[in-house]
Amino acid sequence: MKNMNFQVNLQGVIDLLSNHLYSDPGVFVRELLQNGVDAVTARKRLGHVFEESVKVELFPASSTLSFSDNGCGLTEAEIEQFLARIGSSTKREDPDAADDFIGQFGVGLLACFVVSAEIVLITRSALDGDPLEWRGKPDGTYTIKKLKRQVPVGTTVYLQAKPDYEEFFEYYRVSELLEKYGAYLPTPVLLREDKYERRINDAVQPWKLSKPEAIEYIEQSTFTKPLDIIPLHSAIGGVTGIAHVLPYAVSLQDEKKHRVYLKNMLLSDKMSNILPAWAFFVNGIINTENLRPTASREAFQENDLFFAVRDELGACIKQYLIELSERDPELFQRIVLIHRASIKTMAVEDEELYALFIRHLTFETSYGDMKMAQILEERTTLAVTASVDEFRQVSRVAKAQELMVVNGGYVHDMDLIRRLPAVAEDATVSILDSLTFAERFEQLDAEDKRAAQPMLEHSDRLLERFNCRSLVRWFEPADIPVLYNTNQEANFFRLVEESEKEANPLFGEVVRVVKNDMYEQPYARLCFNYNNPMVRKAAQTRDPALRKASIELFYTQALLLGNHPMSADELRMMNDSLLQFMNKGLDGETEASR
């Protein structure tokens, strides 16, 4: 018997494995499964004919389990190579054989030290008849001895639970872990306790199911029925898989949970980056033959091959959606309706997605909510507002002028609308300037201008302190007496002035510099509608107090209708004008009753 040391200092390595490298102590089951399947693969490469299997047996009385395979086994030299030199693997020794193997013997076996204080390995090589026993401990020592008794070709690993890890040696937990990691392995995996034995992996891989079968599988496993199943494949990555379209809206910030297998062994059930970020509306189930895992084998190395595979999978999804929009437009519309918010976000950044989705996306317009395809059918000239507030100011009046205005104030809508000419050559898009919007309306004739001039001058004097100037036009609908228009620059200047009033002297000076040196003072616009009877009466009155109250009430009413914030002065103005009209009406009723 030889007493040897690992060719690496194991102090701290076990803590590294349990606290940093592996996300769950149960990964030791995956590592042993990988080693067993790799050994079976290696023996088949030798040309041996045998009934391959990996067997797991539980001994509950002693919290012990064994993993057995009838693979190639190990010679003493291979034990030195694969178990003593942590990180060595058949992949490094034989690059041509790499495609057939899932894992690496060295680091993977060390995962067992997370749950067990000792690893006992009994092996007999298919090439060398001597049975061997290897015992490894977490202090860095191990022993190798030849056994006098005969054992079958293959390898058996024995583990006994450390305190606090007994759960991972109980039937329900081991069964759960075997099903999680090995449900789709081609080599039969058998679990035995006492006299009861069952096969773990007799299910068909999801990526080999027909579409109806895949939908049923997803519904049973997630308790939600997917909208559709998208086949995935990548020749360079040896990838086959499916992506199921989620039947509910998800945020781009939500954690993506794609289930990924490497040579039919589960690598991760919450991998976020195997599909492009824009494919937020699907969850993938993917098996790959060629991508290389990281040391923890819970993710892939992000090399050129990885990114090329991801692009190929993204192309599969795009192409399928293009075909779906033609083959089943109703289903395509359901997908767009459910995921429209996130689709808009991704369409801004991806030209192909923009071209695919833009005509199916819905926007708020002066004619109500409309799909872009319908908008382009009715209008090729569009005006878009920069904010929701600006849209609210003009939408009703724009419709009366038969002007198509699109609300660009929601997230990404402005960018999406402005790019329309790239996919619709006859479309022209302009940004609506709400301050000049009223100039589109009909001018008054000379007589009406003279009649309205005193009211306009009075209005400019009253509203100067609110950075607002007045004009009068004739427009539809007649029931709107005034239209208040502002923009972001005017709003900012107004905010600066409010801050200056309330600021301390030092900050007030900073505000004055911003206001006086950096900006030319902008003004909001209050457009009186001479088509409205009340406006004409206010313009024709000879009572200055009544005209003042009318202007103040028109102005504050326009602020309220446009959902604009009101200052304390504007609130007082509204209250005073209302009280004046109430008093005048009540006084008139009193005089009439006498």
For position 295, what pLDDT does the model report?
A: 74
Decide: 41 and 91 in contact? Cβ < 8 Å.
no
Q: Which carries the bigger pLDDT value, residue 342 or residue 100?
A: 342
For residue 332, pLDDT over 70 is answered with yes
* Residues 300 and 328 sit within 8 Å (Cβ to Cβ): no
Q: What is the mean pLDDT of residues 521-550?
A: 91
Q: Provide the mean pLDDT of the chain.
A: 85
* Alpha carbon distances (Å) from 339 to 251, 316, 327, 360: 9, 19, 20, 12
Q: Which of 521, 463, 466 is nearest to 489 (CA)?
A: 521
Contacts (Cβ under 8 Å, ≥6 apart) of 463: 469, 470, 526, 551, 555
pLDDT band at 88 (very low <50, low <70, confident <90, very high): very low
Neighbouring-strand partners of residue 430: 383
Q: What six digits make up the tokens of 329?
A: 């437009």
At residue 586, the pLDDT reads 74
User: Would you place residue 89 in the very low, low, confident or very high pLDDT band (cuts 50, 70, 90)?
Assistant: very low
pLDDT digits 0-9 by tens, 302-314: 999 999 999 999 9
For residue 189, with 0-12 CB atoms within 10 Å meaning exposed, 13-18 middle and 19 or more buried, which class applies?
A: buried
Strand 468-473 to 482-485 pairing: unpaired
Q: What is the pLDDT of residues 417-468, one digit of tens each?
A: 999 999 998 899 999 887 788 888 889 999 999 999 999 999 999 999 888 9
pLDDT (0 to 100) of residue 425: 87
In this prediction, residues 189-194 reach a mean pLDDT of 95
First to last CA, the chain: 126
Rounded Cα distance between 291 and 303, Å, is 9
Domains of the chain (ranges; CATH) run: 2-199 (3.30.565.10), 206-331 (3.30.230.80), 361-432 (no CATH), 443-487+522-593 (1.20.120.790)
| Nearest-10 Cα torsion for 168, 170, 176, 177 | 30
* C-alpha span between 119 and 134 (Å, rounded): 8
Report whether pLDDT(520) > 90: no
Lowest mean pLDDT among 104-118, 314-328, 357-371: 104-118
242, 326 Cβ separation under 8 angstroms: no
Output the CA angle 179-180-183, nearest 5 degrees. Answer: 50
Question: Would you place residue 389 in the very low, low, confident or very high pLDDT band (cuts 50, 70, 90)?
Answer: confident
pLDDT band at 15 (very low <50, low <70, confident <90, very high): low
Strands 405-407 and 381-385: parallel
**383 vs 83: CA distance, rounded Å:** 71
Residue 512 pLDDT exceeds 90 = no
Q: How confident is the model at residue 405 (pLDDT cuts 50, 70, 90)?
A: very high
pLDDT at 43 over 80: yes
Residues 247-268 have a mean pLDDT of 88
- Between 110 and 304, the more confident residue is 304
